[in-house]
Amino acid sequence: MLESENNPLLNFVANLTGNQYLKVEEDLGQGFVRLNVSEAERRQAKHDIQSMEDIVLEMLRNSRDAGASKIFIASTKEENLIRKVTIIDDADGVPAELHEKIFEPRVTSKLENIITDRYGIHGRGMALFSVKQVADEVKLVFSAPGRGSVFKVQASTGLLNERKDQSTYPAIKYRIGEPIIIRGPHNIIRTVLEFNLDHRELMIYLGSPSEILTTIYHLSTTDGDAEEADEIQDLKIWRCVKSIKSATVLADIAERRLGLKVSVRNAQRIMSNRVGILKTMLETLSMQEGHSEPERKKVDLLKPEPLARRLSQEDLGHIAKLFSSEFRAIGDKYFVEISGTPDVQAEKDCLKVTIKLQSKGN
Ligand SMILES: Nc1ncnc2c1ncn2[C@@H]1O[C@H](COP(=O)(O)OP(=O)(O)OP(=O)(O)O)[C@@H](O)[C@H]1O
Ligand SMILES: [Mg+2]
């Protein structure tokens, strides 16, 4: 046993110099300490936010409480490792002097109006601080009073959990006309949908950065509130891409102002209507299986064409051929080859490829 372990004075000095000292308010002896406030906050923060889904939920609660009516969420995963999520709202916005401060612990504008929702109390001034502790980066890209906010969060999925399956839409059942989520992974889609079901007045859009940008681009010219003057509506940051005519400018403004990174090529496709416009999350509800309410049928008209159906038979055949030729070298290693031609089926938003194998030389 080291001498210092039994010697309170040496222990004290060791604590003074090591970073243990920075975490402790009081040494209570026998291995007990009272943590100081900042260490307790740091630990609480890590406990509060454990997944990307938790982050998205806190962002949604913030937008709701700030008076949003529209929320756009762009989500993308890069190199299979980094999740990037951008949240754009049309709520009250944050004054410039507070842009940095809102990420500090215990900073809130909800002194008198704590909100309790199904997720608990909202108004501790801790969520953005917590997000900052667990994410690689969280940035307020834009915010101004009356104009809304744009937050961007980046987290490596290796460090911060998220559901592996981020594409499955939850299964919905209707009970007495009310949609209820009955199963499905607790992924970002489900988090957003559950939130939206609790707050049906909100128009929430969820998609890739390109899908969100195309939706914003088209809504900004078509969707106006007749009661409100154009100039007031145009103040909202999400409308800043309205009437842009150049793809280069669109890609540039989208990144700088809306935190949406799209290539110039994609911006061109967006401007020429070649990227599908998103439905709101609630509109997409009726497109899911398991709803049998007759009055919902008319909403089906909003159903967009399944993505895979856009591909022509000719292109599906081309993909099958590519598989055949690419597989040859791989198959050689295992003495197998493809029997017949691969079968490529277009189903909803998936391409399903069936490759039947046989021993080589059969
Ligand atoms: N989208 C937003 N629009 C306007 N203001 C926002 C937005 N997001 C955050 N804020 C401001 O930042 C403050 C801090 O947000 P944060 O989520 O950290 O704490 P909180 O919402 O006050 O409480 P809680 O920790 O319970 O979430 C909020 O009180 C609000 O004033
Ligand atoms: Mg909050």
Q: How far is the CA of 154 from the centre of ligand 2 (A)?
A: 18
Residue segments in the chain with a per-residue pLDDT below the cut of 50: 1-4, 292-303
Nearest listed ligand to the Cα of residue 114: 1
Question: What integer pLDDT is reported at residue 226 of this predicted model?
Answer: 62
pTM (2 decimals)? 0.75
Ligand 1 atom 31: residue of nearest CA: 109
Nearest listed ligand to the Cα of residue 87: 1
Angle (CA) 92-217-152 rounded to 5° is 50
Asked if residue 108 has its Cβ within 6 Å of ligand 1, the reply is: yes
Residue ranges of domains in the chain, CATH in brackets? 3-35 (no CATH), 46-307 (3.30.565), 310-359 (no CATH)
Distance CA 7, CA 172 (A): 64
pLDDT more than 70, % of the chain: 87
Is 293 within 8 Å of 174 (Cβ atoms)? Answer: yes
Q: Under DSSP, is residue 192 helix (H, G, I), strand (E, B) or coil?
A: helix
Nearest listed ligand to the Cα of residue 153: 1
Q: Which stretches does DSSP call E strand in 147-287?
A: 148-156, 171-175, 178-183, 203-207
Q: How far is the CA of 48 from the centre of ligand 2 (A)?
A: 12
Strands 70-78 and 203-207: parallel
How many Cβ atoms from other residues are within 10 Å of residue 237's Cβ? 22
How many Cβ atoms from other residues are within 10 Å of residue 53's Cβ? 20
Distance CA 299, CA 314 (A): 32
- Atom index in ligand 1 nearest the CA of residue 93 equals 4
Q: How far is the CA of 312 from the centre of ligand 2 (A)?
A: 46
Determine which helix (DSSP H) or strand (DSSP E) holds 26, and give its type and residue range.
strand 24-29
Q: Computed from CA positions of residues 35, 41, 47, 51, in that sequence, does the dihedral angle turn out positive or negative?
A: negative
- Atom index in ligand 1 nearest the CA of residue 108 equals 29
Distance CA 278, CA 70 (A): 13
Is 286 within 8 Å of 299 (Cβ atoms)? Answer: yes
For residue 73 the two structure tokens come to 């969420």
Is 211 within 8 Å of 330 (Cβ atoms)? Answer: no
Interacting residues of 332 by C-beta distance below 8 A, sequence separation 6+ = 360
Among 128, 152, 204, say which to mutate for ligand 1: greatest number of ligand atoms within 8 Å of CB: 128
Q: How far is the CA of 127 from the centre of ligand 2 (A)?
A: 5
Distance CA 190, CA 171 (A): 10
